[in-house]
């Protein structure tokens, strides 16, 4: 119930943000992105990085008269880690909602623009499992059902195409209290997006 209230609050906030933008006659630009997520559990022993998928949709809302924009996103993100020296791995998938502040650089009228961005995110667990020797078991009791943290990154906008490298740092424990020892999500991601 608590997660449903949190998701409803975030969705309401995004809708209000869009409404305020439309009233200011600054229409958002929408886009899709997809890429590779390379994740681990920070503060954990015996784990290595694990590859996963990152993809979803976003809205880019320019702030008039400035090089800044606000970019809320709705992403599907695969996180987790491989066990060091074995075939075992822990996987946890999230619906992730970052809200980023973006700053673009470059001369007006030029189609190539470097960007930097940062902001908070909220993640909600949709699937988790432990896999070893080809067998997978559900791990929902092990992982917390939400994750909060920050995103920082940089990218390059070329006409309607953008390429970005980001790092996601979790600020809350990944595991339920009975299993937790301060482990948090950490992931590098390389993604490509298209603006419509």
116-132 pLDDT, tens per residue? 999 999 999 999 999 98
Distance CA 96, CA 149 (A): 10
Domain assignment present for residue 153? The answer is yes
Number of domains in the chain: 1
pTM over 0.85: no
Closest CA to 131 of 142, 121, 122: 142
Domain assignment present for residue 20? The answer is no
Domain assignment present for residue 17? The answer is no
Q: What is the DSSP secondary-structure string of 45-110?
A: SSEE-EEEEEEEEEEEEEPTTSSEEEEEEEEEEEEEEEETTSS-EEEEEEEEEEEEEEEE-S-TT-
28-58 pLDDT, tens per residue? 999 999 999 999 999 999 999 999 999 999 9
Look up the domain containing 175 and give its range: 27-195
Domain assignment present for residue 142? The answer is yes
CA distances from 137 to 31, 133, 174 (A): 35, 11, 18
Q: How far apart are the first and last CA of the chain?
A: 35
57-115 pLDDT, tens per residue? 999 999 998 889 999 999 999 999 999 988 899 999 999 999 999 999 877 777 899 99
């Amino acid at each position: 119930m608590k997660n449903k209230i949190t998701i409803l609050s975030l969705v309401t906030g995004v809708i209000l943000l869009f409404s305020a933008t439309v009233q200011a006659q600054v229409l958002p630009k929408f886009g899709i992105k997809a890429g590779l997520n390379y994740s681990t559990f920070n503060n954990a022993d015996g784990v290595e990085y694990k590859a996963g998928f990152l993809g979803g949709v976003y809205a880019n809302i320019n702030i008039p008269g400035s090089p800044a924009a606000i970019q809320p996103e709705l992403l599907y993100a695969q996180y987790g880690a491989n066990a060091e020296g074995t075939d075992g791995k822990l996987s946890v998938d999230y619906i992730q909602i970052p809200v980023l502040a973006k700053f673009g650089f470059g001369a007006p009228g030029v189609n190539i623009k470097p960007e930097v961005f940062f902001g908070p995110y909220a993640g909600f667990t949709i699937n988790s499992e432990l896999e070893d020797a080809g067998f997978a078991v559900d791990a929902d009791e092990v992982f917390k059902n939400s994750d909060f943290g920050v995103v920082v990154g940089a990218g390059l906008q070329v006409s309607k195409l953008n390429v970005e490298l980001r790092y996601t740092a979790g600020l809350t424990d990944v595991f339920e209290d009975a299993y937790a020892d301060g482990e948090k999500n950490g992931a590098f991601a390389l993604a490509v997006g298209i603006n419509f």
